[in-house]
Structure formats: C-alpha cells, structure tokens
Amino acid sequence: MEIACFIEAADRHCQQQGVKLTALRRQVLELVLSYSGVVKAYQVLADLQKQRGIAAPPTVYRALDFLVAAGLLHKVDALNGYIVCHHVGCSHEGLILVCGDCGRVEELDATPVLDVLRQQAGGAGFAISQQNLMLTGRCEACRT
C-alpha cells in the first residue's frame, strides 16, 4: 500500500529532523495522501470531523503548517491548497505543475531552470532561497 509506505518514510524523515510526527499529524497526512491532487484545509477538516467527531480549524491548520515545515507537504498558494511532496528526502528542487481544473499534480525537476532564475535574481541583488516553483495550467486530460 502506497500510503503506508509514504507514512513510514515520513516517520523516518521526521525522526531525522528531530521533530515529532504525532498521531494527529499523521492522521492529517494520511487524509491529504488519500487525495490524488490538491486538497483544501477545510476538506481535510471535514474528513477529520468524520473520523473523530469534532475538530476546529486551528487543529487542521496547525497540522498542515507542521507538515509543510517538515517538507512533507507543499502549499499551493494560487489555489489555497496543499499537495503531498513526492520527493521527501531528496534535496532537489521541484517544478510543481497543478491542473487548475481537476487538481492533478505533476512534479518535475526544477534544478536547471532555478539555476537560471538564481542568476537573474542575483543581478537584482536578491539571494533566493531553496524552494519549489509552482505553475498552474491545464493537464492533457482537461484540455481535450
């Protein structure tokens, strides 16, 4: 089962980082994993409420913030949503493509293009930190 495998990797990752993947955080991670693409905080909240009876927004936002900080999720600002990071543990930077119609996500390697961007930003005096690039568009299926 892919989810279990991911959770296991996430567990190891958190231990290495010296942070705790508590039961609640793991549960939220599982809920995000159960979707194939972008998930919204209030969707996770609704799911969480189904599973534990009651939950408030801060509960879910805190867990999501933790998971983003730990590098297990990415926040997709343009859609107010979250996606699973498919390169946990790898240090490479991702180019994340999000289909605005169906929410499908694809991750490519952004290293070459980020080299160019670093150079361009450097010319303006900016030192850009390690990060992912996110682009929205339409996937093949939604374009036809």
63 binding DNA? (CB under 7 A): yes
How many CA atoms, within 13 angstroms, populate the side-chain half-sphere of residue 105?
Answer: 23
25 binds, among a second copy, DNA, none (CB under 5 to 8 A by kind): DNA
Can residue 25 be called a binding residue for DNA (CB under 7 A)? yes
C-alpha–C-alpha distance, residues 65 and 67, integer Å: 5
Asked whether position 136 contacts DNA by CB under 7 A, the answer is no
With CB under 7 A as the contact rule, the residue among 31, 38, 39, 55 that binds DNA is 55
Residues between 78 and 137 that touch a second copy (CB under 8 A): 78, 95, 97, 99-100, 106, 108, 113, 116-117, 120-121, 124-129, 131, 133-137
Q: Answer yes or no: are the C-beta atoms of 98 and 79 closer than 8 Å.
A: yes
How far CA 83 is from CA of 31, 45, 69, 112, 121, in Å, comes to 11, 15, 13, 23, 27
